[in-house]
Chains A and B, each alone.
Chain A
């Protein structure tokens, strides 16, 4: 086990990248703590898998170094890095039995037969396949195959890290929940560093202690689920995390007030002069419909999603979502929306600006 450090790392699939746009991963410096459970979250094509493959050594980065602890492993083969990886689609060795599939990584490393047997039994029990250990893997359902892949990823105890590349895509929803819980439990038990790639925020937020949000080849924020929710570092994080995502409005920031098309919105803190395109972001959870206090809103539609309602409307010419608690009457008298001042974030050119006072 080891802390993973990425130094000036960047990767391009072009042989001669001509500019930043040619890079699948833009230059980054990050440290992944030993024993952490990380989720790598982002939309498709943002570089999640590229980053994962660089860590596991399946891909050599075009620049920068990868360090495990204090050892530079940039040029080390995957096998030398002692990493386990589970892929998006099930990879099983069809002609082998389930037992041989699970034992394969251990046998390849010349482990002792008695140990292999007990370890395979343990993992099989965990993924619920102990009753079909002697079946051939061919002909099993995609679910079962993916469970074998997961099992093979977890069978080695001494790995530096276990990497998961959207491993639950092909699994049914109820099984997803169960497996995710098991992964979490496994993490607590053995303390492996785990990096879990996904584009499903629920999956990321429930699995990880720290969520790493990627956007367009960059890590835009690395933080706890709470940090991502309360203080998204980038408008993409605001939009991507939460359902519906954060509302964004172009606004002029003057001191502790934001001006959007005539209306003034009080902010929780004072801001110094900001350069660039400024926006304010407010989560639908922190906006309240009122009968005259705040900014005027035109309500277009109300969606009842069970435990709350989502009000889709328009503020200052921009679409705006508000979450209204169950039971609150929504009527024509509600013409304004009030934002909770200290929950309003300010962005300049899509990046969050900290208030001048330094608070929050």
Chain B
């Protein structure tokens, strides 16, 4: 069959290209410019090559922030994914309460990030916060402003509170798409509850779960606002994650060169990890199909 080739159609893509160029490519190139030059203001740039990159790669400060970041993402994934699945499995499937649950679950997702931070910042304060005050009343020594462990617990609990809903809602959608006949067949086959989960629910949820893990990983790896509002990265540097460190460097110290080099590497790391995640998980999927 002959298809008419009309290359003029490419012009229709042009507006998108222009918009993307202005919104993404040009800003990114500005960062590249800063990463390869040193500047003392007045738009005067001196070429330094890869010097900033070398400095950043060998920086202990960056290594520590990266370590904290990986630990944080690992912990919240380990909590949010199983908890989200558990919640999704126990949510009502239909009727009035299903709607109530959905709305309640969606609420934390709708709250702006800095408001979430503020809520937990106040909630956890020992002097006026509901949580902080009562923990102190019960004799529990809790203070996120001077105890690194307490700060970590607060930041993690906050993230779990904020984002578990996302995992739960995605899993819930996956579960809802399972035809009733599967559960009926399982009853006829006398499958145990665990077998139903392992062989029916989990395989059917795998697709959405992949998306949930990917989204949660990327978001947690780039987290900035909430911990910044609650702890400001402290006490000391104990909750200074990569984004917080980056902002401190770029805007606090005005080290634009190193910060730009840092940004580029950060961006590439996220891109790389997400790609690895995606490839590994889709390959798993394909292998199972063989």
Residue of B nearest to A88 (CB): B181
Contact at B289–A139, with CB atoms within 8 Å? yes
For B278-290 the 0/1 string (1 means CB < 8 A from A) is: 0000000000111
Which B160-206 residues sit within 8 Å CB-CB of chain A? Answer: 179, 181-182, 184-185, 187-192, 195, 199-200, 202-204
Contact at A87–B184, with CB atoms within 8 Å? yes
**Chain B contact residues: over half helix, strand or loop, or mixed?**
helix
Known: A93-B199, A139-B290. A108 touches B188 (CB 8 A): no
Residues of B within 8 A of A149 (CB): 185
Residues of A within 8 A of B289 (CB): 136, 138-139
Bound state CA distance, A91 and B204, in angstroms?
12
Q: Give the residue of A79, A104, A108, A136 whose beta carbon is less than 8 angstroms from that of B288.
A: A136
Bound state CA distance, A136 and B188, in angstroms?
22
For A78-97 the 0/1 string (1 means CB < 8 A from B) is: 11000111011101011110
Tell me the smallest distance from the CB of B206 to a CB of chain A, in Å.
Answer: 9
Q: Give the residue of A94, A96, A108 whose beta carbon is less than 8 angstroms from that of B190.
A: A108
Residue of A nearest to B289 (CB): A139
Known: A89-B181, A138-B288. A94 touches B189 (CB 8 A): no
Contact at A109–B190, with CB atoms within 8 Å? yes
Q: Give the residue of B185, B195, B203, B290 whose beta carbon is less than 8 angstroms from that of A91.
A: B185
Contact at B190–A85, with CB atoms within 8 Å? no
Known: A89-B181, A91-B182, A95-B203. A108 touches B290 (CB 8 A): no
Residues of A within 8 A of B199 (CB): 93-96, 104
Tell me the smallest distance from the CB of B55 to a CB of chain A, in Å.
Answer: 49
Bound state CA distance, A104 and B200, in angstroms?
13
Residue of A nearest to B179 (CB): A89
Contact at B190–A79, with CB atoms within 8 Å? yes
Which of A88, A96, A105 has its CB near the most chain B CB atoms (within 10 A)?
Answer: A105
Bound state CA distance, A94 and B289, in angstroms?
9
Known: A77-B187, A78-B188, A136-B288. A108 touches B195 (CB 8 A): yes
Contact at A56–B188, with CB atoms within 8 Å? yes
Which of B184, B185, B189 has its CB near the most chain A CB atoms (within 10 A)?
Answer: B189
Bound state CA distance, A138 and B199, in angstroms?
12
Contact at A85–B288, with CB atoms within 8 Å? no
Bound state CA distance, A263 and B34, in angstroms?
103
Known: A95-B203, A95-B288. A58 touches B184 (CB 8 A): yes
Residue of B nearest to A83 (CB): B188
Tell me the smallest distance from the CB of A100 to a CB of chain B, in Å.
Answer: 9
**A152 sits at the interface (CB 8 A):** yes
Residues of B within 8 A of A78 (CB): 184, 187-188
Chain B: interface size category: 20 to 34
Bound state CA distance, A149 and B184, in angstroms?
13
Bound state CA distance, A197 and B200, in angstroms?
25
Residues of A within 8 A of B191 (CB): 104, 108
Residues of B within 8 A of A93 (CB): 199-200, 203
Which of B179, B185, B191, B290 has its CB near the most chain A CB atoms (within 10 A)?
Answer: B185
Tell me the smallest distance from the CB of B263 to a CB of chain A, in Å.
Answer: 41
Contact at A94–B179, with CB atoms within 8 Å? no
Contact at B181–A105, with CB atoms within 8 Å? no
Contact at A108–B181, with CB atoms within 8 Å? no
Residues of B within 8 A of A95 (CB): 199, 202-203, 288
Residue of A nearest to B184 (CB): A58
Tell me the smallest distance from the CB of A149 to a CB of chain B, in Å.
Answer: 8
Q: Give the residue of B185, B190, B202, B204 whose beta carbon is less than 8 angstroms from that of A87.
A: B185
Residues of B within 8 A of A152 (CB): 185, 189
Contact at B203–A85, with CB atoms within 8 Å? no
Tell me the smallest distance from the CB of A101 to a CB of chain B, in Å.
Answer: 9
Which of A91, A96, A149 has its CB near the most chain B CB atoms (within 10 A)?
Answer: A91
Tell me the smallest distance from the CB of B273 to a CB of chain A, in Å.
Answer: 26
Residues of A within 8 A of B204 (CB): 94
Q: Give the residue of A77, A94, A104 whose beta carbon is less than 8 angstroms from that of B203.
A: A94
Bound state CA distance, A89 and B184, in angstroms?
12
Residues of A within 8 A of B185 (CB): 85, 87, 91, 149, 152
Bound state CA distance, A88 and B184, in angstroms?
12
Q: Give the residue of A58, A88, A108 whose beta carbon is less than 8 angstroms from that of B189.
A: A108
Residues of B within 8 A of A88 (CB): 181
Which B124-179 residues sit within 8 Å CB-CB of chain A? Answer: 179
Given contacts A85-B185, A105-B188, 11 further A-B contacts (CB under 8 A): A58-B187, A78-B184, A88-B181, A89-B179, A91-B184, A95-B202, A95-B288, A109-B190, A135-B290, A138-B203, A138-B288
Residue numbers of A with Cβ under 8 A of B are 53, 56-58, 77-79, 83-85, 87-89, 91, 93-96, 104-105, 108-109, 135-136, 138-139, 149, 152
- Give 9 closest A-B pairs by Cβ, nearest first: A139-B289, A91-B185, A79-B190, A105-B189, A108-B190, A87-B181, A93-B199, A78-B187, A85-B188
Offer 22 A-B interface pairs, CB within 8 angstroms, sorted by A.
Answer: A56-B188, A58-B184, A58-B188, A77-B187, A78-B184, A78-B188, A79-B188, A79-B190, A85-B184, A87-B181, A87-B184, A93-B199, A95-B288, A96-B199, A104-B191, A105-B190, A108-B192, A135-B290, A136-B289, A138-B203, A138-B288, A139-B290
